[in-house]
């Protein structure tokens, strides 16, 4: 493979470290995470969920798909919903496809990576659906952590409508986070017990 092509490709991956996750920035979260940090969360979450779900998955395809899922945002940035509200449906995917093609021009294995990306967007396979679940779960976990650590009341919006996951294990984690994020009284005691278990590990942070 032509050296400049490989170097340019690595720079595209690196660019995600300079691409902000707009949802947090818009809500005033200071020093909000970037897309690279989020993508790591998606890879890690997919890796963990793959260990607990019932069906066997191709781990390589799963983690590669998780790693590539937001790669186009290095070119497009993380565009929020309103920008897409005034365009025909499906436009977002077209724009990201165009960006993926631009990123992968001249790359010999572009076909393999585009296949993964298309499989993700079709959302038909177990691997694709687990990546979608991991993507959402990382976002909700992050919302909960920001809520706890920054006192940002606007983050409560994230819990307003219950999100439906493909996999019950992801759903269960989310439902627990949502309960804590909403601070629902009758579950307070359960939350404290879960937190108690977590606290021992948190000492590692102190």
Pick the closest to residue 152 from 21, 34, 17, 26 (CA basis).
26
Q: Which C-beta is closer to a copy of itself: that of 31 or that of 164?
A: 31
> What is the smallest separation between the CB atom of 165 and a copy of itself, expressed in angstroms?
13
CA distance 115 to 122: 10
Structure tokens at 147: 């809520």
Closest approach, Cβ 194 to a copy of itself, in A, equals: 5
Nearer to a copy of itself, 26 or 124 (CB): 26
**Rounded to the nearest whole angstrom, what is the least distance from the CB of residue 124 to a copy of itself in the complex?**
21
**To the nearest whole angstrom, how small is the minimum distance from the Cβ of residue 123 to a copy of itself?**
21
Q: Which is nearer to a copy of itself, 37 or 126 (CB)?
A: 37
Query: Considering the complex, what minimum distance in angstroms separates the CB of residue 104 from a copy of itself?
Result: 11
By C-beta, is 18 or 123 nearer to a copy of itself?
18
DSSP state of 89: T
Per the CB < 8 A criterion, the answer to whether 28 and 154 are in contact is: yes
Distance CA 118, CA 69 (A): 10
Tell me the closest approach of the beta carbon of residue 58 to a copy of itself, in angstroms: 7
Rounded to an integer, what distance in angstroms lies between the CA atom of residue 121 and that of residue 131? Answer: 10
Q: Which is nearer to a copy of itself, 89 or 206 (CB)?
A: 206
Which residue, among 168, 169, 170, 159, has the nearest Cα to 136 in the 3D structure? 170
Report whether 175 contacts 61 (CB < 8 A).
no
Alpha carbon 200 to its chain's center? 27
Whose structure tokens read 């969920």?
49
Nearer to a copy of itself, 129 or 152 (CB): 152
């Amino acid at each position: 493979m032509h050296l400049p092509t490989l170097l340019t490709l690595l720079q595209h991956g690196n660019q995600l470290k300079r691409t902000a996750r707009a949802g947090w920035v818009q809500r005033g979260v200071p020093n909000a995470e970037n897309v690279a940090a989020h993508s790591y969360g998606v890879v890690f979450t997919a890796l963990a969920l793959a260990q607990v779900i019932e069906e066997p998955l191709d781990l390589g395809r799963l983690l590669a798909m998780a790693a590539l899922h937001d790669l186009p945002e290095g070119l497009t940035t993380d565009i929020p919903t309103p920008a897409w509200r005034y365009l025909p449906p499906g436009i977002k995917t077209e724009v990201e496809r165009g960006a993926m093609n631009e990123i992968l021009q001249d790359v010999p294995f572009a076909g393999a990576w585009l296949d993964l990306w298309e499989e993700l967007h079709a959302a038909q396979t177990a691997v694709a659906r687990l990546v979608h679940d991991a993507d959402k779960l990382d976002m909700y976990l992050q919302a909960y952590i920001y809520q706890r650590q920054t006192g940002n009341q606007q983050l409560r919006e994230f819990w307003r409508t219950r999100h439906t996951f493909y996999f019950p294990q992801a759903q269960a984690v989310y439902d627990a986070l949502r309960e804590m994020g909403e601070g629902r009284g009758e579950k307070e005691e359960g939350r404290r017990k879960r937190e108690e278990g977590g606290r021992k590990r948190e000492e590692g942070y102190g």
